[in-house]
Every structure is written in structure tokens, then in C-alpha cells.
Amino acid sequence: MAEATLDGGKKSDAFVLTPEKLRRQRIARFFGEGFLLLVASFVAIVVLFIFYFVAVDAIPFFQQRGFVEFFSSTNWYPADEPGEFGALAIIYGSGMVTIGSALIAVPLGISAAICLSDVLPFSIRQYAKPVIEMLAAIPSVAYGFFALVIFAPLLQNYGGPILMWAWWLIAGPFVILAVIVVSDLLTSGDKGGANRETMRFIVTAVLGVLAVLFLYWVGKTLNAIQILSGTNALNVSLILSFMALPTIVSVSEDSLQAVGRELREGSYALGATRAETIVKTVLPAASSGILAAVILGIMRAIGETMVVWMASGNSSHIPDPWYNYLDSIRTLTATIAGDMGEADQVTGSARYHVLFAMGLLLLVFSFISNLVSERIVVRQRKILAGE
Amino acid sequence: MDLGTRKILDRSFTAVGVTSILLMAMALLVVIVPIFSNGIGAIFFKGTIEHRKLQYNEFRKGNPDVLQQQITETDSYRNNAFSIVEAFEAEMEGMEPGEKKKEYASQYTSVRKILAHLLGPLPGDMEPILLRYQYGATRWEKAEEALHELMFVTKWDYSDPTKMATQYFVPRADEFAGTALADLFPYMENNLEKMLLPEQTFYWGFITERSLDAHIFGGIWAEIQGTFFLAVGAMLFAFPLGVIAAIYFTEYAKDNFFTSILRSANSTLAGVPSIVFGLFGLAFFINTMKVSESKSVLAGSLTLAIMILPTIIRAAEEAILAVPKTYKEASLGLGSTKWRTIVTVILPAALPGIITGGIISLGRAAGETAPIIFTAAVSVGATIGLADVFNSPTPALSWNIYNLASEHEAANEIRHVQYGMVLALISIVLLLNLSAILLRARISQKLKG
Amino acid sequence: MQMTAEEREVNKVAAKSGANREIFLPPERERVKDGGKPHVSAKNFSIFYGNFEAVKKVNADILSKYVTAIIGPSGCGKSTFLRAINRMNDLIPSCYTTGTLMFDGEDVYGRYTDEVQLRKKIGMVFQKPNPFPKSIFDNIAYGPRLHGVKDKKMLEEVVEKSLRKAALWDEVKDRLDRNALGLSGGQQQRLCVARTLAVEPEILLLDEPTSALDPKATAKIEDLIEELRGSYTILIVTHNMQQASRVSDYTMFYYEGDLVEYAPTKQLFTNPRDQVTEDYITGRFS
């Protein structure tokens, strides 16, 4: 073959290197990979820095004021001279909206995830996913604006009727379902043919009337409620639950998908309905992944700033009674955001450092929950892989 | 249990799932629809002659000849109103001092205030310093509200102590019955349109103009530009870092303890509450590193950058892992080095996926508020130039939405501006996300062949 | 079998370079010029995945410019052996080797060996056609560009030459700028062969190159192998025994990591020495 070779048969063609060349290659590779590693470690360095710099500004607060007041007093008067820094009510407020939003988002999110992974045909799922992504993409300040400008006045003016209708629409179907199931169970002992049908009819009718009365009575009570301020824990919890939903849905769905078809087919083959298959077989297998999803969703809710700052009412007291979601509250995030404007004029004072103490509290909480959820996911993966 | 009951349970189970999906879609609609329908009002509205005056005086927009002609036209009607007012003032002069006069005087003060609100400064008023008092109602629906306020006095009924007080209206004309001012009310009601000449207005300047007098008038360009600077700045830092880190994680990282620490750091960073990023930005970039004297675009961008870094890394990792292994084998089989394989084969194939992640992160950086509160955002500020990003703060859509809605002295008066801003922000973010979704759909289609 | 003078000559060379078995050349009319020297020699060569020994102490010489087929049931280590020759197994973290594997008289796994340069000399075509998502031209030019050819004219020359060698030129010459993924499976696979030829390797490793193709495309690839025989040392892993008997001069039979039999193809298929080989080629198991 007389054609030109690529490098004219030069020595560089040899695949065995001289020691000199090998050394040079190794050094180049060392620095190259070292650079990549450095960049990849950047994230870890940032995490360390965040902990360090937030802690450094938080510690002086605890040195000056100790721990007891911060965690046990509800007197939050940072602007006074001398100030009072009892954050209990604020921590309570954070917890309250987090639990409130979890109560709404967790059942909704899990059933939506089940629906996406097991119920809906693929063609519809394709459209449902972007909806969830959009829900996640809307900036928090837009949700906050919605909560403050649109939802809060609605709640204030039509709070009672809104609560009543929500109760009827949500609880109604479940109560009716419960009537059907309970009456079936109550009469299941009697296998006596025609007699049983009559019995069952009577039981269903009695329970049905009772249930309707119950629904009506609770609805009427709710209708009579006057909401004094639309910016309250209920408003915030509801909006936060929207914001936590996308996380819960997508992570739970991943976990449900990971369960695999064999398990489902095994259950169907034994004559289970879809609901039974999911509840008794799929959900237990996916439970740890779903738990991780819930933790991640809750983290999103507790760390959210703008919505609570705009729509929680920002009053630092424990609601009366303690479960009163129609009362205004104040959260850690909103306190940091709201008070820094005045506090950073007085860098070094307890008023400034207390906000970092709150930041540290949030940071530690998010770190722990993140670690826990990560562990859970890893464990589930191992179990499903049969290790 | 009965098979029938089991089937009912099964169906209701499905129904619960479908309902929850529908609820989510509805939540999206409930949030977006009012924002869209009201936000559009910032650009399309019935603008009065006052709006056109303002536009000409401040931005030299509009036809001065037509404007002058319209001003003359409206002035003839306005002068009638003013002469009624003058007549009443003369009448008041002549009144005997006493309770009656005092009440008239206080009522009359609010009438004058509303009139000035509608038509701009009245004859005899001092030339106001604040721009907001130099013009009347620029938007017709605001003018109509003011007219209602002029026509009626709002009163509260506290008669039933068990219930909340109810509102009721008393015609103002009744209070001034028998005086010269009584004529003013029917006259205003009948001729307001002729005094203000409302026209359907397409106010594109809302996007492109600066704000006037703390957003009472004008547009939101400064905020849009600030958001753009912050988000793009964050991407400039985070995108290259994120892609390189993703390359390390997918192609070089060995499966050991150190790598798992790095990965866990990544998810920790993803979970840090956004307000804590703000604290960190303040404590580190501004107070410790002193990248700028105080708040600046640079400090804000850096803070946002570390916030979006984990998202970018994850998206880039996924995109790189999705590149078929065969490409890599083919390239290595041809005698390519690992690094060249990554640069010439893997990255080009993963690029659409990486860009999708980048776009979504860009949207997130544009929409976040908490990290920039202490590091970059100011409530009122002029448009800044590119050279100023290193040392000056900027207004930004997200922050100013909060500020106008919660802290602005006339928050209720400028709802339309707030809605317009929210619409602008949501549009930017959703358009970015939509393009990411479409891009991804195209990628998956391409992979299917 | 009686050795000819030429074979004796070859064996003398082989013995010098460390070959450890007698080499039989094919019948006169099938011989190739300058061929038959040990090009790759394995000595006690084992490949491990972690603790699992996938290829066990192989001793064999691959003869230059001839086609050698590697057959055996799935998981017998045949692909692993093939990929070890140009060190593609380096991609698997847990994989390591013992013994020696010599190529051109140098140790493939030696301390000073640069696997990148090695792969340039030992080209590989994979099971599934894997063109890059680039134009046909860029696919072929990828290798030469890697190795420093920038001149447009020279690249065009290389592309044409390689495509002609791979018998694809006439089919694609008018659409060199089209995306290679638009070609049919058979064309894609020949493109991959052309892409490998463009870097001018000495050895061509074909890892079940026709398993993803229809019979027509398979025939074309087989014709191509016939065409390239005599210019390159070719190793082909195949599941298809007919294919092995059609295209190859020598055949290796692997079973559970052992090289059970290695002989001229005709001999292996007509007169296998080992019972396992016979069972396999007669279809008792697969």
C-alpha cells in the first residue's frame, strides 16, 4: 500500500511510550483530573462554608443570651432596649405551617403519584407531568402574591362558606364510601342469602342518614366561622402544600416505578383489584421511598420564605387555641427575611446574630432531614436490588 | 367483603388519584388565571388624557398637537367644575363661623382631594413636588373608583354588636344640599368621560420604561433588567462549574467514600433553605470577602449561583449518563483519549439535556427572592448599566413584587403594577420552562429515531 | 498433517517470537502474501472480573492478515478476550488481567503501554452499529482528525479511501453531509468499519458485527470481510457458526473461559479434536 499514512510512520505511532513520555502523560493526567476533582469538590466546600459562616454569626447570640430564652420564651421583642429574643412562638409557627401543608400535600401528593405511575395511561401522563413541573417552576414570590392579594381577601370575606364547601367536597365522598364499606363489614357475618340483602340495606340506610347529618352539622359549624384575617396559618399551609406537591409527587412516583412489574403482576394474578394490589403490595414496597419524598416535601415547606413572609400575618404568638389555623403566625424564615433589614445596621448585636441562630436552626434541620431521606432511598434501592 | 364493594373501593381509589391530579391542575389554573387576566391590565387598559400627558411630559411619547387639542377640549369641561368649586368657596367665605361651617370645611377638603386625584392639581393648589400629585387618574377604572368615592361617603353600621360592621353609602350631594357645591356631583358624574377622554391604550412602555415616583407611574424595565443580570450572572458562574463537576462525577469519580461524601454534599446543598443562602451571601460574599461595598449584583449572582449549582450538576449528570455507552466505546476504540472523547462525543450528545437543565435553573434563579434580599435587591432604584454590576444593587422583579405588594405606601393603588410584574416574572419563568420541556420532548423523540 | 516448507519457515519465526504451538497455514490457494506471522500472542493470559476468572490462562497466537473467528456459547469469555486485545476492558473498573498479551512483540498490558495509541492500531467494530450522531463525513474523519490531520483535502481523501474499502462509497458519496443515523443498519455497520479503517489499524476486531443486522446486510458485511482479508489481521466474534465457517481461516472455540480448541476453520468444523467442540458445533448446546 503506497498511500500516505496518517503520520508518515513516525515514532509517535508506537504504542509503547518512553519513560519520559509516560511521566509527562501521568503529570498531565494528574493535573487534569485534579482540576476536575477540585471543581467537583467545590460543592462540598460551599456546604462547609455555609455551615461555618452561618454558625460563626450564630454563636455570638448564644454566648450573649444562652439557649434557654431562645427556645422557651415566646417574647419576641428584638427592637427593645434591652431586647427579648424568645423564638418559641416563631419555631412553633414554622412547625405549624409545615405540619399543615404536609397534611394537605402528603395525601394529595401520594395519590397523585400512584395515579401517575399506576392508573393513568401513558398518553395522559405525558400531559400531567408538565403540569407538575409548571407548579414547581412558579416562583415563590408569585405564590406569595397570590396568597396575599387574591386568596387572603377571599378567605377573609367568604371564609365560612369556603370552609363549608371544602368540607363537603372533600369529606363527602369519603364518608359515603365509609358507609358502604362499614355496612358491608357489619353484615358480612351473616351469609344467609336474601335476609342479608335486607339487613344490609337497612344498615346502609341508617348509617347513610347519620352520615349526611354529620356532614351537614360540621358544614354548618364551619359556615358560621368568621375569619378575622385572611393572612393566617391556613392560607400559608394551603399555598405551601402546592409548593411541596411537585417534590412529593415526583419522588414518590420514582419510588413507585422502581417497584417493578413482577410484583404487581404477582398480585393481580391472585385476583386482587388494582386498589388492593397498590395498597397491599406496591405501597409497602415503595414506602421508604415515599417517606423520603415526604421528608423532601416538608423541607421545601419549612424552608420557604416568601409565601410565609407575605401571607402569614407575621405575628409572633402561639395561636389560641394552639391548633387554631385561622390565626396569624410567624415563621423562622419570615423573621430572618423581615428583621434583617433593620438588624444589619447593627452588625454584632444580639438582634443581628439571633437571625443567624435561626438560620443555623433551619440549616441543621434541613441537613438532618436530607441525610435521613438519602439513607432511606439508598436502603430501599438495596432492598429492591435484593442485597 | 363483597366483590361489589371491592370494586366500588377500587373505582373510588382511581377517582381519588384522578381527582388529586385534577386538583393540582386546578391549583395551577387558580393561581395563574387571575394573575394573567389582571396582569394584562398593566399593558392593556383604558388610559385617560392624564396618562397621555404623563407619557408626553416624561418620555416624549405621543403626538403633541393631538394632545394639546385634547387638553383644550377637556379643559372646557374641567373649568365648569372648577367654577362650581370656586362658587362654593366664595359661599363658604360668607358663612357664619360655627359647627355647620366646620363640617362643610372638613367635607370639602376631602372633595378637593378626590377632585385632585381625578383631574390633577386644582387651580389655586401649589404645584406639587411628588409626581403622583401632578397628574390626575391615568387609568379609567381608577377614575371610576374615585368618582364613586366623590359621589358617596362610606359609612359603617355598628348597630348589631354580634355581627361584623357593614358598609353603606351616603350620597355626598345630600351633605351639600342647598349649597353651590351640590351641582358639582351630577356634573362630574355626567361629564367625567369628557374631562378625561379615556381611550383603549396599549402601553408597551410598561415593559420598556423606567418607573416614575416609586412605581406609581411608568414601567418596570429596571426590574426586568435587574432580574436578567442576576439570573444570567448566576448562570455564568454555575453553568461551567456544574458541567465540569458533572463530568467528574460521571466519568472520573471512583466509587469510594470520598465520592459519596461529595454526592451527599450536593444533595445537602440542594436542600438548604433559600433564606439561608441569603444569610450566607451576606456573611460571606459581602461581610467577609467584601466582593462589594454593600449589596451588589455580583454578590447576588454569586449567591444565586451556589443555590442553582446542585440542580445544574444533577441535570448535567443525567444528560451525560443518558448518552449511549456505544458512542464512548466507538470513540475510544478509534484511539481517542478519554478527555477528547468527552469533549468531542459525549458533551455534544448530552448538550441538549444539559441545556434543558440550565434553562430550568435560569428560571429558578430569575424567580428566587430570598437569596437576593440581603445581597442584591433594592426597592427603588434606577436602571443600572453593565459596568455597575460589580458594586451597585438593583431592583429585581421578584423582590419588587414583594416590596410593592407588602411594603409600598400605596400598595392598594398600584395593584395593576404588581400584577403586571408578577405576570412578567411568571411569563419569563414559564416560557423558560416550556422551552425546556419542548427541548426535552425533541431529545426523546430523537433518541427514539 | 504434513508441514510444508513455508510453514516450517513460519514456525521458525513463531518460535523466536515466543509462540507455543504449531501453526498451520491454509491450503495454497487461500494463502495471503506476507501473512501467517503471530500478530497477537497470549501467554497464560487470564482476565478477571473481580474474583471471577472470565478467561482462563489462554495460550494462543493470532496470525497476521488472516481472519480468525471466535465462537462459543454466551458468557464463555469470547467477547471479553476480544476486548482485552485493545484494552476496551479498561472501561470496567473491576477488570484486570494476568499473564501476558503481546502485540507486535510488545506487551499490551505493559507499564509503558499507552492504550490510546494501542487502540489506534487495533481497531474495533461493535455488536450494534454505533455511528456518532454526526454527518457521514465527520464520522469517518473523526479518527484522522483525532490523530492530527487537519488538511481538508487529505481528510476528503481518507474518507473516500475508507468508504471505498468498506464498499460503502457508491451508496453514500452524494450525501456525505447527512446524519449518519439516517443510514440503514447494514450501512451503519459498514460505516463503522470504514471509520475504523480510516485510522489505518493493523488489526480489526469485530464483536458480533452482524448480530443486529438482517440477512442481506449480513451478507454484505461478510463480503466486506472477505475483501479485507489479506490486508488486515481480523478477529471476529460470532454466534453464528455458519458465519465463522464462511469467513474465517482459523477458529477459536471458547467454553466457560477456556480456549478449548483453536485450529484451521475447516479442520475445526469437520474434524474437531475435542468432544465439547463437537457437541457445540453439532448443536447439542448453544
- Three-state SS for C3? coil
Cβ of A119 within 8 Å of Cβ of B17? The answer is yes
Reply yes or no on whether the pLDDT at A6 is more than 50.
Answer: no
Identify which of C238, C248, C277, C242 has the alpha carbon closest to the alpha carbon of residue C260. Answer: C277
Share of residues in chain B with pLDDT > 90 (%): 46
Reply yes or no on whether the pLDDT at A346 is more than 80.
Answer: no
Contacts of C118 in chain B (CB under 8 A): 335
Reply yes or no on whether the pLDDT at A4 is more than 50.
Answer: no
Residue C14: which pLDDT band, with cuts at 50, 70 and 90? low
Distance CA B399, CA B379 (A): 7
**Whether the Cβ atoms of residue A237 and residue A100 lie closer than 8 Å to each other:** yes
For A153-181, write each residue's pLDDT tens digit: 999 989 899 999 999 988 888 888 888 88
Residue of chain A whose alpha carbon sits nearest to that of C230: A1
Reply yes or no on whether the pLDDT at C13 is more than 50.
Answer: yes
Structural domain of residue B306, as residue ranges? 221-448
CATH number of the domain bearing residue B427: 1.10.3720.10
**Whether the Cβ atoms of residue C112 and residue C51 lie closer than 8 Å to each other:** no
CATH class of C5-281: alpha beta
Lowest model confidence (mean pLDDT) among A351-360, A366-375, B159-168: B159-168
Residue of chain B whose alpha carbon sits nearest to that of A141: B398
Residue A8: which pLDDT band, with cuts at 50, 70 and 90? very low
Q: What total number of domains does chain B contain?
A: 2
Reply yes or no on whether the pLDDT at C115 is more than 50.
Answer: yes
Grid cell at residue A210: 347519620
Q: Do B317 and B409 belong to one domain?
A: yes
Reply yes or no on whether the pLDDT at A121 is more than 70.
Answer: yes
Specify the pairing of strand C250-255 against strand C67-71: parallel
Q: At what angle do helices B3-40 and A122-137 cross, to 10 degrees?
A: 40
Reply yes or no on whether the pLDDT at A10 is more than 60.
Answer: no
| Chain pair A-C, CB pairs under 8 angstroms | 43
Mean pLDDT of chain B: 89
Question: Phi and psi for A321 in degrees, rounded to 5?
Answer: -65, 170
Specify which of B418-432, C63-77, C133-147 reaches the highest per-range mean pLDDT: B418-432
Give the position of cell 483525532.
C146
Residue B430 lies in a domain: yes
Q: DSSP strand E in C162-239: where?
A: 203-207, 233-237
Lowest model confidence (mean pLDDT) among A264-268, B35-39, C141-145: A264-268
Residue C100: which pLDDT band, with cuts at 50, 70 and 90? very high
Distance CA B313, CA B295 (A): 27
Reply yes or no on whether the pLDDT at A233 is more than 80.
Answer: yes
Residue A336: which pLDDT band, with cuts at 50, 70 and 90? very high
Distance CA A246, CA A267 (A): 29
Q: Which amino acid is at B35?
A: I
Cβ of C118 within 8 Å of Cβ of A15? The answer is yes
Beta bridge partners of B170: B153
Q: DSSP strand E in B181-265: where?
A: 199-202, 211-212, 217-218
Contacts of C112 in chain A (CB under 8 A): 16-19, 22
- Residues shown for chain B: 449
For A182-209, write each residue's pLDDT tens digit: 888 887 765 656 677 788 888 889 999 9
Q: Do B274 and B342 belong to one domain?
A: yes
Identify which of C52, C116, C127, C46 has the alpha carbon closest to the alpha carbon of residue C87. Answer: C116
Identify which of B268, B250, B230 has the alpha carbon closest to the alpha carbon of residue B354. Answer: B250
Residue B34 lies in a domain: no
Which domain-ending residue is among B173, B201, B229? B201
What average pLDDT does the segment B405-414 reach?
87
Reply yes or no on whether the pLDDT at C92 is more than 90.
Answer: no
Tell me how far CA of residue B379 lies from CA of A64, A214, A335, B91, B385, in angstroms: 33, 51, 19, 47, 17
Residue C25: which pLDDT band, with cuts at 50, 70 and 90? low
Q: Which of residues 270-299 of A touch C (CB under 8 A)?
A: none
Beta bridge partners of C236: C69, C206
Lowest model confidence (mean pLDDT) among B111-115, C24-28, C208-212: C24-28
For chain A, the structural domain boundaries read 65-329+344-384
Q: Do B363 and B301 belong to one domain?
A: yes
Helix then strand then coil, % of chain B, to nearest 5: 70, 5, 25
Of A5, A12, A17, the CB nearest to C200: A5
**Which H/E stretch holds residue A6?**
none
**Whether the Cβ atoms of residue B253 and residue B259 lie closer than 8 Å to each other:** yes
Grid cell at residue C38: 503471530
Q: Which amino acid is at C133?
A: P
For B208-248, write each residue's pLDDT tens digit: 988 888 888 888 999 999 999 999 999 999 999 999 999 99
Grid cell at residue B352: 441538549
Residue A42: which pLDDT band, with cuts at 50, 70 and 90? very high
Reply yes or no on whether the pLDDT at C286 is more than 70.
Answer: no
Residue B415 lies in a domain: yes
The predicted pLDDT at position A9 comes to: 42
Distance CA A247, CA A293 (A): 7
Task: Count the Cβ atoms, other than its own, within 10 Å of residue B145.
Answer: 15
- Angle ∠(A277,A282,A288) on CA atoms, nearest 5: 155
Residue C32 Cα, gap to closest chain B Cα (Å) = 26
Residue B98: which pLDDT band, with cuts at 50, 70 and 90? confident
Burial of C246 (0-12, 13-18, 19+ CB in 10 A): middle
Q: DSSP strand E in chain A: where?
A: 76-77, 84-85
Residue of chain A whose alpha carbon sits nearest to that of B419: A145
Query: A2 vs B153, which has greater pLDDT?
Result: B153
- The sign one gets for the Cα dihedral B379, B381, B384, B389 is negative
Contacts of A53 in chain B (CB under 8 A): 280, 283-284, 288
Q: Is B238 on the interface with A (CB under 8 A)?
A: no
What average pLDDT does the segment C82-91 reach?
89
Reply yes or no on whether the pLDDT at A307 is more than 90.
Answer: yes
Query: C92 vs A8, which has greater pLDDT?
Result: C92
DSSP string, A294-330: HHHHHHHHHH--HHHHHHSB---S--SSTT-TTS-B-
Cα–chain center distance at C170: 25
Residue of chain B whose alpha carbon sits nearest to that of A355: B279
Grid cell at residue C251: 477458529
Residue B374 lies in a domain: yes
Q: Which amino acid is at A56?
A: V
Contacts of A1 in chain C (CB under 8 A): 231
The predicted pLDDT at position B124 comes to: 79
Residue A79: which pLDDT band, with cuts at 50, 70 and 90? confident
What average pLDDT does the segment B309-332 reach?
92
Chosen for mutation from A7, A36, A135, A145 (greatest number of chain B CBs closer than 10 Å) is A145
Domain A65-329+344-384: give its CATH architecture: Orthogonal Bundle (1.10)
Q: Is C148 on the interface with A (CB under 8 A)?
A: yes
- Angle ∠(A161,A164,A167) on CA atoms, nearest 5: 150
Residue A243: which pLDDT band, with cuts at 50, 70 and 90? very high
Chosen for mutation from A138, A298, A309 (greatest number of chain B CBs closer than 10 Å) is A138
For A57-74, write each residue's pLDDT tens digit: 999 999 988 888 889 888
Residue C281 Cα, gap to closest chain A Cα (Å) = 37
**Whether the Cβ atoms of residue B320 and residue A380 lie closer than 8 Å to each other:** no
Residue B79 lies in a domain: yes
Residue B293: which pLDDT band, with cuts at 50, 70 and 90? confident
Cα–chain center distance at C93: 23
Q: Is A15 on the interface with C (CB under 8 A)?
A: yes
Tell me how far CA of residue A264 lies from CA of A107, A277, A291, in angstroms: 22, 6, 20
The predicted pLDDT at position A351 comes to: 87
